[in-house]
């Protein structure tokens, strides 16, 4: 199948292309009827081919496919040329366990429900209506190369019991019960029942119409006082345009991509300056999420999820709703993924674009003349929401008028829960309601930033405040400098944030100078973060070593896309430590910045029954990239400012 006319080399696969990739593989007789399609995504062409398009020849459209053959207990990768209708690459990947699929998740629940050992455990707890049970699949981790379970595709199945058909299952976890399931054979291998406290008594509902019930542990009895509407109108329409997957807003230019594993991807982000589009990022995506739990009990101690590599964040995006997820003049993009059989599936309204007024952008009052100049700040918001089990993660990319790029993750949804005995203070978590608690845990997000600051020859410097010793050069003791340290190689470029010294990192282009003669740069500004509390040397430490450094920098390699490696599921450890072991030079190189930030979550009672949004993230801010304030030419407000305040403006 020839690519559609007008297709850009970085456009995600269309539903027709997804279907064609599966058909080509089946026609070649390489896969069985039982094969599970784990991922079908665009195999991105080489940078050189993208950068010469459309003047140069269009590169082949290729699909990268990951499949699981359950009867063989084997994982395969394929590269399918959609342009030529052929399978360009076919290979077996030994010992690789790809992400769980939706069909496996649902089939696992049915297999556990049918197991007589599990049924007996539920009856011992007084549960006889198994239709009210919910079974969640959690990946098992890896206990090391000697783990006798290697080769099997395994999950731990945890059980919850609803009060009624529409009630919140996480309000009533079954403590002390865990099933081990082989997904290839869809067989329950073992059921462990250590016993435990009774089911928590309250329903824990949060939806309108259910929260007022007497058995719902909440002080809320119904809708709160009325809130008057907030109307966000743009009578002349939004200031951005969307042409296929290309987005233009103010001076920003970018392309939107999407993969089943990562979800939302940004390509070729640039800023138009003096009529020239200057690149900042070639590609940006969330490469992995790691969520370790602190409770050593039977049900919880294996919880250390890699939400992208073990589950796939792109398959579970919400269809966003006007007035709920985005406000104002909105543009939505649908995305195409696939089911276990390789058939295309369209997820409507998966990506939202809108503008937000975010207050004053810059302001100055001349005290002598009384003249006031004020400009409003505005940002373009590109967002998506992933539903990863009990948690929901909102991914928000913000582009500001002053050249700043911001990435935020908004955490909400449901905390993972456990049952506690009467009058028991949980040691490893917080009591939420009688008999119900939530374990302490952490969330770590790694963003892969393929930098292109005014070109591909970049370098990274660490910048710290350094106090000068008292003396002739520092008579009052208040002098300090901003000390820059070049991170010259991959071994040197493994760093921690340091709020005490105001640490940030400069991504420079040593071959391009601004009007002051300094290399142009963007700075990465850390936000609130943390470090994992798991012990070094533990399985979780080996598997999520990327999270133990906030910053990694590696030389560009198109095959190195994920901080925890290609297949973290049941893998003893891969990813950034392996990539950086080559210790490649970084000064003036085509490089990738990997930044990890986290949320240290000691759960509050206020996080139940549904968690208010917590926001974590970081910023990329221009630092000598421009010759002055790039928002200086933002037009003054046309309305709302008083005539007195606008006196002296150029309006």
Q: How far apart are CA 290 and CA 544, in angstroms?
A: 7
Strand partners, 133: 161
**For residue 109, what are its two tokens?**
């629940």
DSSP-derived secondary structure for 36-72: EEEEEEE-PPPHHHHHHTTTSPPPPPEEEEEEEETTT
Task: Map tokens 């350094």 to a residue.
Answer: 466
For 145, counting Cβ atoms within 10 Å of its Cβ (0-12 exposed, 13-18 middle, 19+ buried), the class is exposed
User: How many C-beta atoms lie closer than 10 Å to residue 140's C-beta?
Assistant: 21
Q: How far apart are CA 36 and CA 42, in angstroms?
A: 18
Coil, helix or strand at residue 364: strand
Residues marked as catalytic: 307, 391
Task: Map tokens 């200031």 to a residue.
Answer: 239
Residues 6+ apart with CB under 8 A from 282: 47, 267, 268, 269, 450, 451, 452, 456
Residues 6+ apart with CB under 8 A from 454: 278, 279, 509, 512, 520, 625
User: How many C-beta atoms lie closer than 10 Å to residue 248's C-beta?
Assistant: 15
First to last CA, the chain: 55
The rounded radius of gyration (Å) of the Cα atoms in the chain is 27
Q: How far apart are CA 431 and CA 603, in angstroms?
A: 9
């Amino acid at each position: 199948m020839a690519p559609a006319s007008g297709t850009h080399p970085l456009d995600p696969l269309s539903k027709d292309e997804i279907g064609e990739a599966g058909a080509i593989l089946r026609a070649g007789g390489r896969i069985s009827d039982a094969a599970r399609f784990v991922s079908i995504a665009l195999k991105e062409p080489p940078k050189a081919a993208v950068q010469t398009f459309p003047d140069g020849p269009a590169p082949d459209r290729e699909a990268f496919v990951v499949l699981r053959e359950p009867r063989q207990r084997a994982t395969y990768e394929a590269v399918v040329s959609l342009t030529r209708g052929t399978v360009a690459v076919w290979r077996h990947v030994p010992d690789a366990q790809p992400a769980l699929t939706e069909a496996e998740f649902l089939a696992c629940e049915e297999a556990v429900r049918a197991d007589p050992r599990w049924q007996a455990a539920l009856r011992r707890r007084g549960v006889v209506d198994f239709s009210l049970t919910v079974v969640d699949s959690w990946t098992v981790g890896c206990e090391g190369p000697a783990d006798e379970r290697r080769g099997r595709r395994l999950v731990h199945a945890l059980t919850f019991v609803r009060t009624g058909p529409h009630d919140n299952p996480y309000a009533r976890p079954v403590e002390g019960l865990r099933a081990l399931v082989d997904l290839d054979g869809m067989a329950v291998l073992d059921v462990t029942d250590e016993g435990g406290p009774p089911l928590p008594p309250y329903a824990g509902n949060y939806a309108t119409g259910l929260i007022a019930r007497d058995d719902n542990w909440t002080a809320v009895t119904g809708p709160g006082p009325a809130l008057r509407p907030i109307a966000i109108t743009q009578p002349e329409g939004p200031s951005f345009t969307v042409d296929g997957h290309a987005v233009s807003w103010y001076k920003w230019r970018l392309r939107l991509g999407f993969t089943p594993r990562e979800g939302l991807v940004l390509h070729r982000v640039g800023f138009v300056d003096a009529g020239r589009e200057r690149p900042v990022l070639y590609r940006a995506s969330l490469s992995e999420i790691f969520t370790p739990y602190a409770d050593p009990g039977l049900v919880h101690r294996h919880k250390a999820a890699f939400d992208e590599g073990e589950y796939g964040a792109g398959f579970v995006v919400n269809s966003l709703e006007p007035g709920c997820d985005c406000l104002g003049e909105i543009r939505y993009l649908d995305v195409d993924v696939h089911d276990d059989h390789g058939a295309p599936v369209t997820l409507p309204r998966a990506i939202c674009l809108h503008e937000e007024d975010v207050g004053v952008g810059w302001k100055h009052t001349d005290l002598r003349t009384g003249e006031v100049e004020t400009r409003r700040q505005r940002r373009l918001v590109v967002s998506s929401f992933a539903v990863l089990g009990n948690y929901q993660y909102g991914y928000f990319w913000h582009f500001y008028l002053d050249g700043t790029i911001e990435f935020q993750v908004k955490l909400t949804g449901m905390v993972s829960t456990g049952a506690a005995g009467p009058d028991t203070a949980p040691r490893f978590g917080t009591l939420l309601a009688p008999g119900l608690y939530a374990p302490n845990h952490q969330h770590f997000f790694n963003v892969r930033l393929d930098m292109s600051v005014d070109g591909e020859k970049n370098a990274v410097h660490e910048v710290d405040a350094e106090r000068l010793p008292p003396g002739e050069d520092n008579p009052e003791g208040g002098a300090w400098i901003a000390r820059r340290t070049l991170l010259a190689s991959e071994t040197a470029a493994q760093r921690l944030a340091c709020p005490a010294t105001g640490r940030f990192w400069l991504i420079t282009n040593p071959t391009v100078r601004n009007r002051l003669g300094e290399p142009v740069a963007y700075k990465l500004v850390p936000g609130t973060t943390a470090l994992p509390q798991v012990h070094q040397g533990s399985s979780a430490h080996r598997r999520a070593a990327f999270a133990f450094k906030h910053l990694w920098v590696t030389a560009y390699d198109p095959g190195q896309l994920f901080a925890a490696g290609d297949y973290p599921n049941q893998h003893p450890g891969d990813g950034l430590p392996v990539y950086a072991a080559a210790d490649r030079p970084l000064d003036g190189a085509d490089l990738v910045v990997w930044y990890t930030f986290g949320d240290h979550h000691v759960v509050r009672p206020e996080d139940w029954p549904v968690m208010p949004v917590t926001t974590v993230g970081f910023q990329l801010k221009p630092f000598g990239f421009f010759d002055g304030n790039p928002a200086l030419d933002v037009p003054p407000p046309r309305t709302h400012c008083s005539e007195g305040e606008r006196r002296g403006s150029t309006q």
